[in-house]
Amino acid sequence: MKLGTFVIGGLAGAAVVMMVRRNRIMSAVASNVGGQLRQRMSDMKDDAIEKALNMKFASSFRRATSKAEHMAEGAMHTMQEHDMDHRI
Contacts of 19 (CB under 8 A, 6+ apart): 26
**pLDDT per position as a tens digit, 34-55:** 899 999 999 999 998 888 877 7
Q: How many CA atoms lie within 13 A of 84 on its CB side?
A: 6
Q: Per-domain residue ranges for the chain?
A: 3-87
**Alpha carbon of residue 14 to chain centroid:** 35
Whole-model pTM: value is 0.43
**pLDDT per position as a tens digit, 55-67:** 766 655 565 666 6
